[in-house]
């Protein structure tokens, strides 16, 4: 709508004469009108902002400038700090190791508090059917090793051979005689409440050109074995545990049968390192080396 210049009444945009007083209505360029109107609005806004800024006191202006400087300084300092952290890989890795060591220490203390007194635990051989895999599962082994190993070309006689699920591989100790005092050890990925250990004793290897049980009866088999469980990864079987270590060890007599033997702890014991030490053997008919084909360790993770 537009207004009559004479009577100031509103008339239609397309009207050339006022319907009320008859005065001629000048033609208006609407695009030009809107452009002028927008410019006027911008000028009014700019004038208002200038008036507000000019109305500020020196103190207020100083505070505004100071706040802007502080903000820029904080952003710059944060950027420099982030760049220095990203570049200092060595320092960051050291810090990460220190944090990890601190966490391990806390878990060790918790494990000591929750773990059963070693003197209250006994070992016994049970049937595999008595083991509930829902309660206790296979632990994860990070490292494995042995005090000695019988080195043979093309044959895996190392500690990892007891964890591969292959009856063709085994650990064979390489000490003089029948290997009494030799041990094999396993470093776990975390602390576990260990409840069961399953063993395939002797060598279960089969060769098509050899008689049945040739290697089983040919190699020596563990007869009496010590089970070691420790909450500390540096514990070595045969050494006296340090005061800060919580350790379980106990001997058990094993049958001389080519069957998987399941050993149960009467109560779970919390640890991160498991070792098996040979105390005595069933002598082999051909070889002196004592063998263990497979080892399974079942437990429940602590602090899950």
pLDDT of residue 159: 96
Continuous segment of H or E residues that includes residue 138: strand 137-138
Pick the CATH number of 121-301 from 2.30.42.10, 3.40.50.1970, 2.60.120.260, 3.40.50.12280: 2.60.120.260
For the chain, the domains span 1-55, 121-301
Residue numbers of the chain with a pLDDT score lower than 70: 1, 27-61, 82-116, 234, 238-245, 304
pLDDT tens sequence across 45-89: 555 555 555 555 665 667 777 778 778 887 887 777 766 656 655
pLDDT of residue 20: 78
Distance from C-alpha of 129 to C-alpha of 233, rounded to nearest angstrom: 32
pLDDT of residue 70: 77
Report which DSSP code applies to 22: -
pLDDT tens sequence across 246-273: 889 899 999 999 999 999 999 999 999 9
Q: Check if the beta carbon of residue 221 is closer than 8 Å to that of residue 196.
A: no
Residue 8 dihedral angles phi and psi, to the nearest 5°: 65, 20
């Amino acid at each position: 709508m537009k207004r009559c210049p004479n009577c100031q009444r509103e008339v239609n945009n397309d009207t050339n004469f006022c319907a009320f007083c008859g005065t001629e209505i000048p033609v208006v360029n609407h695009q030009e009108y809107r452009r002028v109107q927008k410019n006027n609005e911008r000028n009014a806004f700019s004038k208002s902002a200038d008036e507000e800024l000019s109305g500020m006191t020196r103190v207020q202006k100083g505070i505004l400038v100071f706040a802007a400087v502080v903000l820029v300084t904080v952003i710059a300092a944060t950027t420099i700090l982030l760049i220095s952290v990203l570049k200092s890989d060595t320092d960051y890795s050291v810090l990460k190791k220190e944090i990890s060591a601190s966490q391990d220490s806390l878990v060790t203390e918790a494990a000591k508090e929750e773990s059963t007194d070693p003197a209250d635990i006994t070992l016994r051989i049970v049937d595999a059917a008595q083991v509930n895999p829902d309660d206790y599962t296979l632990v994860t082994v990070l490292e494995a090793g042995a005090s000695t190993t019988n080195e043979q070309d093309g044959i895996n006689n190392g500690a990892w051979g007891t964890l591969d699920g292959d009856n063709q591989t085994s650990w064979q100790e390489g000490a003089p005689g029948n290997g009494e005092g030799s041990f094999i050890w396993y470093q776990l990925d975390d602390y576990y409440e260990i409840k069961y250990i399953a063993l395939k004793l002797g060598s279960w290897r089969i060769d098509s050109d050899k008689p049945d049980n040739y290697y089983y009866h040919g190699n020596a088999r563990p007869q009496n074995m010590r089970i070691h469980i420790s909450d500390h990864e540096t514990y070595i079987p045969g050494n006296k545990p340090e005061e800060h270590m919580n350790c379980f060890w106990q001997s058990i007599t094993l049958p001389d049968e080519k069957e998987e033997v399941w050993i149960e702890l009467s109560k779970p014991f919390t640890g991160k390192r498991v070792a098996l030490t040979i105390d005595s053997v069933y002598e082999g008919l051909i070889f002196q080396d004592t063998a263990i084909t497979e080892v399974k360790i079942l437990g429940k993770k602590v602090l899950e």
